[in-house]
Each structure stands twice: as structure tokens, then as C-alpha cells.
Amino acid sequence: MDLDTVKTRAGPREFSPADDLPQEYREAATRMIEFHANSEIMGAYLERPFIRQAPSIDRKLAFSAKVQDEIGHGQLLYRAAESLGVKTREEMLEDLANGDGKFLNCFHYPLKSWVEIPMISFFVDGAAMRRQATLRRTSWEPYAHAMDKVCFEEGFHVKHGEDILKELMTGSRKEQEMTQEAFEEWWPRIIQFFGPTDDKSTHHDFAASVGLKQQSNDELRDAFLDQYIPKARKHGLEIPDEPRIRERDDGTYAVEEGDLDWDEFFTIAKNDYEPGLGQINGRKQAQDAVQWVRDTIEGDATTAGGHAPQAAD
Amino acid sequence: MIWEVFRQEKTGGYHAHCGNVHAPDREMAKQFAAIQHGRRKPTNSLWVVPREEIGEIDTEDVAFGGTTDKSYRWATAYNTTGEDAVEVVESEDEQATAERQRGDD
């Protein structure tokens, strides 16, 4: 199939591994899905320490279930990316470990305290869900299938995240102040979740023309603001003065893009942001520390195949 | 001879145990099952199984799991401010439907 045919046919769930697709499509889809998969994994690693720091047994159970879900989403997405035949799962995981794999801006920043959890679990997950809901209509069918499962589970994450926010914002004055501070720190990063504005987005036009992407960064960002600014206010959070938010006559919102730190955003996008390197290396260390588990499992698989592995193998 | 009867209401659904019939052979068991268990309730298909072919294991033999309350795993467990984003509502509805279909409630 040539590129023009792809563009003509592009529609929801139009292409599957049975189709002979041009390299440009395969590469664009791989980049997009690999980025998504890496983000699921890096988000899970960012939140993982807070399973231990959760303030109650209920939170601990729900939070560990959530982190487990995110790792599962990563696995589903690597599978969807792998089916394009451009990169193997091993290559993608290796790139993530050595710092070549790209992932979401928000997961480059360290999480220091429990009050920051709703910033990820409610706002970032809410933003992610908004985007993922549109990707159920992406043209790469295995990606759309993965989104069905992801969206099914994600509602729990967002509502649990909001429940944590509600608890903090109805808690002690100190808790409310700390949550407000965390919100002020995270708010610009959350808005940047949707990436650069349409005119600065390098990949959008192609991805949209072949049906991989269903809505532009600006459309998604605006839809998110309309939904989540009222939510934030309802919980008693004050929207920071910067970046400036305009309310349009019809009650919808738009952000003043120039007020956001795009230098930092693009440094992060290149994996050059110092705290982000800490996240990447931290995950690599955790990965190395449990190498013995993978070795054991793979060892068992070999045994089942009739060959007993020796210590010297 | 006793035959246990399982009824499926709709295509793709589970066959659920609904009672038994006394019959000398499989053919008679199927006819009796159709008469006794397929006339009053919506039925798509029936299974008949000789009772002695069924294996049973109970709490005397083994400690079963499934006693942990996992409601925390579902969006339906959290009451927040309402007016959720449409995709959150959709996810919650899908979860509620799946829960009903599993018959957990």
C-alpha cells in the first residue's frame, strides 16, 4: 500500500498487521506507541515508592493495584508497537534503560510527597484519559484494542486520584496548604502534558493525516481545561496566576502558551533534563536489581523445553 | 439415573446449574430437561451431565481464596464530586456492566 492509499483509507481501526503498510506509517506509529508505552512504565516507577508511603491500608491496596495496572498498560502497548515490525519489545526496553527512549514530560519530575499524588493520579491521569479516549479511534487496530482495555481500567485511577485530592482538601489546614503548593508547582507541567502547540508540533500533521492521531494537541488541551479547571476549583484549589488562563465568552478556557516554560519542555523531550535522568537511571537500577527474577523465569521456561540450564550457562 | 441440568439464557453466556432430571439415558435426559427446565425461563441451550461424572471439591478439602474485598479496584467505589469527564463516566459504566455480567453483586 502506498502512502496516498493509506491517507485515503485512514479511519478508525482501519489497518492491522495483515496490511502491507509503508515504512513512514510504521515508523510514525511505532514512535507514538513506544512513547505511550514508555510513559506508562515511567509513570508506574514514579508512583511505586508511594505504595509504601500510602497513609492507610485502603490507599495502599488501591494504589498498588493502580501501579500494577500501569505496568500492564505498558506491556499491552509494547505489544501493539511490536506488531508494526519496526522495533522489538527488547529494543524498546533497552532504549528506555539507556536513556534513548522518550516519555511524557510529567514523569521526568521527581515526586517528593504524598500531597503530590493527586497531581499525577487525578490531573495527569485525567489528561491521559482524555487523550486515550480519542485513541480508541486510531487507525492502527492493535493500538485501538489496547486503548479499550486501558480506558476500561483508567476510570478507577482517575476517581481514586480525585478521592485522594478530596481527602487532602477537606483535611487539616496544613494539608490543604501543602496540596495547593503542589498544585502550583505541577499545574504548568500538567498543561504541557498535551505537548507543544499545533504550530510547533513536528509530528502532528503526518500522524493526523494517516489517522493515527484523532485530535490535535490544542483541541485536547482545551477540552482538558474545560473539564478540570472547574473540578480543581470545586475541591478548593486556586488556579495559579501564571500561566494566564483566558475564559472565552462561551465559558471555555484557553491558556496563554507563551507563559509556559518551553525551553524546559524541549530539554525534557530530548532526555537532557537532569532530574529526569535520575528517573531513567532509577528505573534501570530497579530493573537490574530484579534481573535474577527474570533469569529464574527464563531458566524455568528452558527447563520445560527439555534443556536444564547449568550455573555456568 | 440422575442427570444435572445447566441452562444458558443467551448465546455466549454461561451454562448455570438449574436442577436435575431422572432419566435412563442421555436422549431421555435431554427431552426431560427441555420439558422441565426449558419451558418457563428464557433458554438458549441446555447441558445434561450424569451426576457421577461431576467432581466436587469443597471447603473441607481446601482453603479457597476470593474472600478479599477488592471493591477498591473499581471506579464505582469512589464518590467524588460528580460531573466527571465523559471518558471517566464511560469507563465507570463499562466497569459496572462487567461487574453485573460476572455476577459479583
Using an 8 Å Cβ cutoff, are A187 and A240 in contact? yes
Intervals of CATH 3.10.20.520 along chain B = 2-53
Using an 8 Å Cβ cutoff, are A260 and A192 in contact? yes
- Indicate the average pLDDT of chain A: 92
**Residues 42 to 81 of B: which have CB under 8 A from any A CB?**
70, 72-75, 77-81
Evaluate if residue A304 carries a pLDDT over 70: no
Evaluate if residue A312 carries a pLDDT over 80: no
User: Of the candidates A20, A25, A14, which has an alpha carbon nearest to the alpha carbon of residue A142?
Assistant: A14
CA nearest to A130 within chain B: B87
Tell the CATH topology of B2-53.
Ubiquitin-like (UB roll) (3.10.20)
Q: Is any Cβ of chain B less than 8 angstroms from the Cβ of A275?
A: no
Q: Is any Cβ of chain B less than 8 angstroms from the Cβ of A35?
A: no
Per-residue pLDDT of B17-48, as tens digits, reads 999 999 999 999 999 999 999 999 999 999 99
**Alpha carbon A91 to its chain's center:** 19
Evaluate if residue A168 carries a pLDDT over 50: yes
pLDDT bin (cut points 50, 70, 90) of residue B68 is confident
Q: Please report the pLDDT score of residue A86 as a whole number.
A: 97
Using an 8 Å Cβ cutoff, are A46 and A189 in contact? no
Enumerate the residues of chain A whose CB falls inside 8 A of the CB of residue B86. Answer: 133
Q: Please report the pLDDT score of residue A307 as a whole number.
A: 52
Write the CB contacts of A249 (distance below 8 Å, at least 6 apart in sequence): none
Enumerate the residues of chain A whose CB falls inside 8 A of the CB of residue B78. Answer: 156, 159-160, 162-163
* Cβ-nearest to A129 among B70, B78, B88: B88
The region of weakest confidence among A39-43, A97-101, A163-167, B62-66 is B62-66
Is A155's CB within 8 Å of B72's CB? Answer: no
Q: Is any Cβ of chain A less than 8 angstroms from the Cβ of B90?
A: yes
* Cβ-nearest to B80 among A151, A152, A162: A162
Per-residue pLDDT of A114-147, as tens digits, reads 999 999 999 999 999 999 999 999 999 999 999 9
Shortest CA gap A313–chain B (Å): 39
> What mean pLDDT comes out for the span A16-27?
95
Evaluate if residue B105 carries a pLDDT over 80: no
**Alpha carbon A202 to its chain's center:** 19
State the CB neighbour count (10 A cutoff) for residue B49: 17
pLDDT bin (cut points 50, 70, 90) of residue A313 is very low
| ipTM entry | 0.81
Write the CB contacts of A10 (distance below 8 Å, at least 6 apart in sequence): A139, A209, A210, A211
Domains of chain A and any CATH numbers: 3-292 (1.20.1260.10)
Per-residue pLDDT of A54-81, as tens digits, reads 999 999 999 999 999 999 999 999 999 9
Using an 8 Å Cβ cutoff, are A139 and A125 in contact? no
Is B91's CB within 8 Å of A153's CB? Answer: yes
HEC string of chain A equals CCHHHHHHHCCCCCECCCCCCCHHHHHHHHHHHHHHHHHHHHHHHHHCHHHHHCCCHHHHHHHHHHHHHHHHHHHHHHHHHHCCCCCCHHHHHHHHHCCCCCCCHHHHCCCCCHHHHHHHHHHHHHHHHHHHHHHCCCCEHHHHHHHHHHHHHHHHHHHHHHHHHHHHHCCCHHHHHHHHHHHHHHHHHHHHCCCCCHHHCCCHHHHHHCCCCCCCHHHHHHHHHHHHHHHHHHCCCCCCCCCCEEECCCCCEEECHHHCCHHHHHHHHCCCCHHHHHHHHHHHHHHHHCHHHHHHHHHHHHHHCCCCCCCCC
